[in-house]
Every structure is written in C-alpha cells, then in structure tokens.
Amino acid sequence: MSSLFRHAFEAVKDANLVLEIVDARFASFMRNAEMEQFLHRKKIPFIIVLNKMDLLHGKNPASDEFKREQIDSIPICCVPKKNINRLRSLIFSRLEKGGKIAVIGYPNAGKSSVINALSGRHAAPTSRQAGFTRGKSFVKLREDVYLIDTPGVIPIAEHDSFKLMLFNAKSVNQLKDIEQLAMELLEWLPTHDYWKDWLLRTYGLVVSGDGDEQLEILSRAWNKMRRGGVPDTHATAIKLIQDWQQGISPRQE
Ligand SMILES: Nc1nc2c(ncn2[C@@H]2O[C@H](COP(=O)(O)OP(=O)(O)O)[C@@H](O)[C@H]2O)c(=O)[nH]1
Ligand SMILES: [Mg+2]
C-alpha cells in the first residue's frame, strides 16, 4: 500500500460497511480500483453513492456498469436531500447485525455532505477546499449502527495532474502543462456519455479532431491569437480549464 493512501485505508479498516462517494457525473471515472480491491480482500462490503444527481439534469448515471458488476449503487443528492432515506434503508439492509460505516472518496466528491445528510446535523464540515475535515467521532444512525464522521479522503497523486484538473482539486495557477491538460480534456470529453456535448452546451460549438486541433479551433473561435495569426493555445487552454472547473462546481458557498 502506498503511503499516500494510508490515511484513506486507515479510515476503512475497522468499518463493517463503506460508502464510496463519487460525483454522479464522473461515476465510473471516480471509482478507486485500489481501494475497492482492498475492500474485497478484507471482505468489507461497500455501496457506491452517486452524489450530486441534481447536476445530472435528468440523465442516468452509469448504473449499468454497477449492475453488471453486482455492486450496490444509489444516486442521491445532499442539498436538497434526495434519496437519503433510500440510502439509509440500503445501509440498514447491508448491516443487519449493526456496525460502523466509513465514508470515503476523492476531495470534493461530497463525503462531508453525505455524512451531514445521513446524520441530519452538521457533524462534518463541508468545504470547497480539498480534503479539509477535522475531529473524529461517531454519529449514531440507529441503536447499533454508527457512522464514522471522519471521511477517508482518497488523495489524488501529484503525478495524476489530469484528475487534479478534472475534479478541480487544483486550480489553473497550481497546475503545470496547461495546454497538455486542455488537450487531454478535449479528448476525454467525447468518451463520456454525460460530457460528450459539453462544448456544445457551454459554448454552442461543435469541435472535432485530436486535442491539438480542437485547441486551435477554440483559439480561433475565441479570437485568442498571437501576432502573426498564430493561435494562442496557452491562453485558450487557461480559459477552457477555468470554465470547466467553474462549470463542474456550480454551487457557490
Ligand atoms: N450540486 C450539488 N453539490 C453538492 C452536493 N453535495 C455536495 N455538494 C457540494 O460539493 C462540494 C464538496 O462537498 P463536501 O461535502 O465538502 O465534499 P468532501 O470534500 O468530499 O467532503 C461543496 O461545495 C458541496 O456544497 C449535491 O448533492 N449537489
Ligand atoms: Mg470534507
């Protein structure tokens, strides 16, 4: 186990059930295979919680994949609360003998919000800041069922700068190789059902080609040009990533 992950594994090792929180819009991409393998090995059951279903605008989260793998999953929304009672029932049905529940996930997936929604009080501080949670205690959900109120943050490794960018764990001025990341984003979008028309929805633009070509097309569309008619792909990449990150976190606090 890598030292980076130690904290997240620490959070689940005494649990009888784990809630893996993912953003419903990134459902399959946000799952953590290393963590799930660990849970399988330890025979700790888990439920994938597809949070922020309000942001799906009626589209279905990737539930086929979970059905195929016979993994429990449930779409929910924390604010306003939706499906929280169903999640609670699912939890109780998986913990017939009672036990402790750990909540894990990437920064900003909504771990603290899920804990608050389930416990009905502001037990865990929510924040747009990555991985900021204090204190350690349990929240009683039922006489014999407790929620560990310290979420297990699955860290995003520094080298995984694409995920850092994608999940808004780091902002543009904290990221290197902005153009590379923008090109990766442009090639990633069409491969995901929910995101494939993001450029169209956001800018009213249909853009094709590889990442490099798309970035140039956007430069021209946004009139971001250097002297001599050369596309300013750096400025274009900055705008694209800023818009992306603002777009995926629409709720202001
Ligand atoms: N739209 C929407 N935003 C949510 C939902 N749940 C959490 N958020 C927002 O997502 C951000 C991260 O939430 P937080 O619970 O602090 O995530 P954590 O880092 O995983 O603990 C905050 O801005 C929350 O308000 C939800 O169901 N819908
Ligand atoms: Mg938190």
Which ligand is the nearest neighbour of the Cα of 129?
Answer: 1
Quick check: 46 and 36 in contact, CB under 8 A?
Answer: yes
Quickly count helices (H) and strands (E) in the chain.
Answer: 11, 9
pLDDT for the residue numbered 158: 85
| Largest CA-CA distance found in the chain, in angstroms, rounded | 72
- Boundaries of every domain in the chain: 3-153, 161-248
- Reported as a single tens digit per residue, the pLDDT across 87-130 is 999 999 999 999 999 999 998 899 999 999 998 865 455 554 44
Per-residue pLDDT at 132? 42
- 33-47, 53-67, 102-116, 150-164: which range is least confident on average? 53-67
Q: Report which protein residue has its CA nearest ligand 1's atom 1.
A: 52
What is the model's pLDDT at position 218? 98
Substitution candidate for ligand 1 out of 78, 82, 87, 106 with most atoms within 8 A of CB: 78
Distance separating alpha carbons of residues 115 and 27, to the nearest angstrom: 19
pLDDT at 248: 86
Nearest-CA residue for atom 3 of ligand 1 = 52
The class of domain 161-248 in CATH terms is: mainly alpha
Tell me which ligand sits closest to the C-alpha of residue 56. Answer: 1
User: What was the pLDDT predicted at 239?
Assistant: 98
Measured between alpha carbons, how far is 119 from 146 in angstroms, rounded to an integer?
10
**Bridge partner residues of 146 (DSSP):** 100, 140
Residue of minimum CA distance from atom 22 in ligand 1: 128
Q: What is the dihedral of CA 107, 109, 114, 115, to 10 degrees?
A: -10
Give me the pLDDT at residue 6, please: 80
* Fold of the 3-153 domain: Rossmann fold (3.40.50)
Which DSSP state fits 61? P
What confidence category does residue 173 fall into, taking pLDDT thresholds of 50, 70 and 90?
Answer: very high
